[in-house]
A and B are shown apart, each in its own frame.
Chain A
Amino acid sequence: MSVERYIEELFAALGSPLPWDFDAASQCLRAAAWMPLSHGLKDNVGFLGAPEPELLSPKRMGTRATDARTFAGTVDAVCFWIGPLRIPDRNAALVFRAEAEKAGTATPWDSGGLLARCAQHLGEAERKSLIERRTMSAPGYRRALAAAIFVRHGNPQRYVQGALLRATDPDRICQGTDLSSFTYEAQIPGRLRIFTDDLMYGAAHGSVAMNRHMNRVRSFCDDFDVIDDFSEHRTVVDAVRNYYERKLP
């Protein structure tokens, strides 16, 4: 669907217009254009040992796609949070520049979450059609992201922290208790190479995910946090969020 249409619906859902704040609006536009893509790693990262390691969609990996991905139609996509990770915790995570998305698409929420968690006021077919309707092309969707940050969070810091000012949402998906319900999701078709200039940051639990493969990533990516007894952060999720907070333009 068109980005403009979504923005119109988002502002219409506000009811009464917001007092216009040009500084905040320009800050939101800048941050939305910059907002990197984060991806949590689940296993013991053996795939990083390949000569040219890539993040692969379940289809390209030849693994069973989850029900959530099948429902959302993202079986042949690598999915990212556009912002920090919005999951309990992960053993490791990688963060990529916005430019990495190139031919990707995005939705204003975790698309797989609509299977069983979000928008349950709608029937299954309606939820599927909502995903189709709200799937926007990259990088144009970043204007919608800027509008969502402005309307719901007031400033980019609050978006990164997952703090809502108002749960304005034309789709009635956004809930303060579920960060995945208002964090944008990027879907990159097929695969994404890891060792490129787009890799900005990584974090890994030292006691779980450190091995020769992860060390290779560390030697490639200068900005990398190991989470252990001596690190500033307790979790990968905290470390990634802190990275976004530090780097926000």
Chain B
Amino acid sequence: MTTRFDFQSLDVVGFIGQLDTSAAPARLMPVYVCSSSAEIVLPPLSESEGNVRGHAAPKERLNELVDEQEVTCLPSPEPAKPTHLLWMSPEGPRYESRERAEEALEQLAEDAIREVCALGLREDGACDLLFKAYRVRTTAVVCALLSVHFQLRGDPDQGQPLQKDLRRLAGKDTGRLERRLLDAAAPLLASSREVAAAVAREIRRAERDDLAEEILDEHVRHVTGTASEPAPAIGQLEPFRSSSSAERPVRGVRRSRSSPARHLPRFRCVERRAP
């Protein structure tokens, strides 16, 4: 049974769980304390018209929940405000307007994708970076990159949950972040036609043909004579063996002798032009 509270009577005192900055970015579930009724307000919470609805419990329960490691307290309580978000930044918990928090979160997702581009999708470190972006919001681009990452690592089983996510996203509006992340991933997609084709194929699972076609147009079909050819399959790529044979960082776009590309049909590249 939930109770309604006015934001003006609430302070944010903590969040559910035992998370620290190593879990950043993460959206936290806030715990409020009500000054007028000596109660705490626990998730699940819903917000409407300056009010928040949640499970009320006696204030003394807070100490018990902290002791039971169910709740972590903030360094100091913050006055609760409507349309605000409590989240874990790399520097610690932050409570700020939803708009500002979302922008900061999306920037972290974009930064993570850019780091993956510099590192190489096949590298082990790419996994944690991509999951950072996943925690910001479930997007087809990140799920597809993760799925391809696991295929490149020779661990397709780990990619299956991401493929489920992609199917789950079919027909859903995943928002503007998709476009931003796709742009951030451009150097990675440009570095390897096989990877670009594989990412496009994964993205189709989410029925985002618009994004898939764009990837193919930009990074696969800029090669003459390929428009009617099937996209190279990631299954033709050599699985990851060791760090020495790992995919190179994208800058320079050179491929090693063990590059999977040599197993694929030869394509003639045409010069890319700025739009």
Contact = CB atoms under 8 A, between A and B. Distances in A.
Contacts of B44: 88-89, 234-235, 237-238
Contacts of B55: 88
A219 B138 contact: no
A88 B161 contact: no
A210 B29 contact: no
A158 interface: no
B43 A226 contact: no
B134 A44 contact: no
A67 interface: yes
Nearest to A58: B69
Interface in A197-240: 205-212, 215-216, 218-219, 224, 226, 228-231, 234-235, 237-238
A48 to B, nearest CB: 13
Contacts of B135: 206-208, 210-211
B67 A215 contact: no
Interface in B178-209: none
B268 interface: no
A117 B63 CA distance: 12
Interface in A107-159: 112, 115-117
A206 B20 CA distance: 16
A90 B134 contact: no
Contact of A230 (B138, B146, B157): B138
Interface in B15-34: 16-20, 22-23, 26-29
Nearest to B57: A88
A87 B70 contact: yes
A16 interface: no
Given A42-B17, A43-B17, A210 B131 contact: yes
A238 B2 CA distance: 14
A175 to B, nearest CB: 12
Interface of B: 1, 16-20, 22-23, 26-29, 42-44, 55, 60-61, 64-65, 67-70, 127-128, 131, 134-138, 146, 157-158, 160-162, 165, 168-169, 172, 174
A229 B137 CA distance: 8
A68 B160 contact: no
A91 interface: yes
Given A42-B18, A206-B134, A219 B157 contact: yes
Given A208-B17, A215-B131, A44 B22 contact: yes
A146 to B, nearest CB: 27
Given A88-B65, A210-B131, 4 more contacts: A42-B18, A90-B16, A230-B172, A237-B44
A210 B25 CA distance: 11
B70 to A, nearest CB: 6
Interface residues of A, number: 39
A228 B136 CA distance: 10
Contact of A212 (B28, B60, B127): B127
Given A43-B17, A89-B29, A229 B43 contact: no
B166 to A, nearest CB: 11
A64 to B, nearest CB: 9
B114 to A, nearest CB: 19
A205 B28 CA distance: 10
A210 B158 CA distance: 13
14 contacts: A42-B18, A43-B17, A44-B22, A68-B64, A88-B70, A89-B29, A205-B27, A206-B135, A206-B138, A208-B27, A208-B28, A211-B135, A226-B168, A228-B138
Count chain B CB atoms within 10 A of each CB in A89, A112, A177 and give the residue with the most.
Answer: A89
A212 B128 contact: yes
Nearest to A224: B161
B17 A116 contact: no
B158 A219 contact: yes
Nearest to B138: A228
A66 interface: yes
Given A206-B135, A230-B172, A235-B44, A177 B1 contact: yes
A237 B45 CA distance: 13
A226 B165 contact: yes
Nearest to B46: A234
